[in-house]
């Protein structure tokens, strides 16, 4: 059996909370793949305990050894000023620089293939067939309209760990004046210009729920990704219109009353 893993990243207690819902959701799909949680030193040990207790494998992963100039360019206030988020808001606990640590999954060379999933997502049906997809496969960044089909979203992707690829990435990432406005996402799209497109259902962005409701079909949706505001943020600006999705996340997080996905109502119906 080739070794395969689902991998996520957490750098603080908030994203560890997200990872708990993700890990629980993956286990309910019946997958045999390893569930790896890469974590940086900023994550409190207590936040990792429930993940390990469920059987996930915590793997220490430090932030990348990028230069001070690179770190300053991608520092939160600077990035928000130079590349403002106009469509939604990022929680205070989101540190853009931390996103780049995702690239550490290329160092997990004990695995032949990995599927990376953001810690702010839940998997609602088995997606093991993604391990048969090539590097680099990702779904489009669609949540508003057709114009976004040519961009990928880096919340779910298929990759093949390799030290050589990791080294090549580090070299390309931190060039003088390099500014990756959407961090790892912009970088990965640039590094893999011939990326393979996955169906949108493998990375259904929560804003589809209200912006493109006719695209939402629970019979096909496999991963729900809570981009922008997080479902565990109290009373965020979109909480009202996203309530059914927020309730779903809380069910996975608590492990209680997880609904049968096929019985859920679509937003356009």
User: Interface residues with Mn ion (CB under 5 A)?
Assistant: 118, 120, 155
**Among 10-18, 24-32, 65-73, 130-138, the segment contacting ligand UDP (CB under 6 A):** 10-18
174 binds, among Mn ion, ligand UDP, none (CB under 5 to 8 A by kind): none
Which residues fall within 8 angstroms of residue 99, CB to CB, at 6 or more apart? 183, 184, 185
CA dihedral defined by 16, 19, 20, 22, rounded to 10 degrees? 170
CB closer to Mn ion, 34 vs 118 = 118
Tokens of 38: 């890469």
Among 4, 25, 31, 95, binds ligand UDP (CB under 6 A): 95
Assess 233 for contact with ligand UDP (CB under 6 A): no
CB closer to Mn ion, 120 vs 184 = 120
Assess 252 for contact with ligand UDP (CB under 6 A): no
CA gap 223, 203 in Å, rounded: 5
Strand 204-205 and strand 57-60: the pairing is unpaired
CB closer to ligand UDP, 155 vs 161 = 155
CB closer to Mn ion, 53 vs 246 = 246
Q: How far is the CB of 263 from ligand UDP (least distance, A)?
A: 27
Assess 25 for contact with ligand UDP (CB under 6 A): no
Tokens of 176: 């003088």
Q: Are 101 and 63 in contact (CB under 8 A)?
A: yes
Bridge partners (DSSP) listed for residue 10: 39
Q: Are 143 and 211 in contact (CB under 8 A)?
A: yes
CA gap 48, 39 in Å, rounded: 8
Among 6, 70, 136, 228, binds ligand UDP (CB under 6 A): 228
CB closer to ligand UDP, 19 vs 33 = 19
125 binds, among ligand UDP, Mn ion, none (CB under 5 to 8 A by kind): none
Assess 189 for contact with ligand UDP (CB under 6 A): no
Among 34, 36, 120, 216, binds ligand UDP (CB under 6 A): 120
CA gap 12, 240 in Å, rounded: 26
Q: Are 158 and 135 in contact (CB under 8 A)?
A: yes
Strand 137-140 and strand 152-159: the pairing is antiparallel
Binding residues for ligand UDP, per CB under 6 A?
8-12, 15, 94-95, 98-99, 118-120, 155, 227-228
């Amino acid at each position: 059996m080739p070794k395969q893993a689902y991998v996520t990243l957490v750098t603080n207690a908030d994203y560890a909370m997200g990872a708990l819902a993700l890990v629980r959701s993956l286990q309910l799909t019946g997958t045999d793949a390893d569930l790896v949680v890469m974590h940086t030193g900023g994550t409190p040990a207590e936040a990792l305990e429930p993940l390990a207790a469920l059987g996930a494998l915590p793997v220490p992963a430090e932030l990348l050894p990028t230069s001070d100039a690179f770190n300053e360019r991608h520092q939160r206030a600077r990035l928000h000023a130079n590349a403002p988020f106009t469509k939604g808001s990022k929680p205070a606990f989101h540190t853009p620089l931390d996103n780049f640590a995702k690239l550490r999954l290329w160092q997990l060379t004990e695995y032949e293939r990995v599927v990376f999933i953001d810690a702010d997502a839940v998997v609602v049906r088995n997606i093991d067939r993604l391990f048969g997809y090539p590097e680099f496969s990702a779904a489009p960044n669609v949540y508003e309209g057709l114009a976004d089909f040519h961009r990928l979203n880096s919340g779910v992707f298929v990759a093949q760990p390799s030290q050589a690829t990791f080294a090549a990435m580090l070299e390309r990432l931190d060039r003088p004046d390099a500014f990756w406005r959407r961090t790892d996402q912009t970088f990965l799209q640039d590094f893999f210009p011939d990326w393979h497109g996955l169906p949108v259902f493998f990375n259904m962005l929560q804003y589809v729920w209200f912006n493109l409701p006719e695209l939402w079909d629970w019979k096909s949706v496999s991963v729900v990704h809570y981009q922008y505001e997080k479902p565990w943020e109290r009373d965020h600006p979109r909480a009202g219109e996203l309530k059914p999705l927020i309730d779903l996340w809380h069910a996975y997080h608590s492990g209680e009353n997880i609904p049968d996905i096929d019985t859920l109502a679509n937003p356009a119906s």
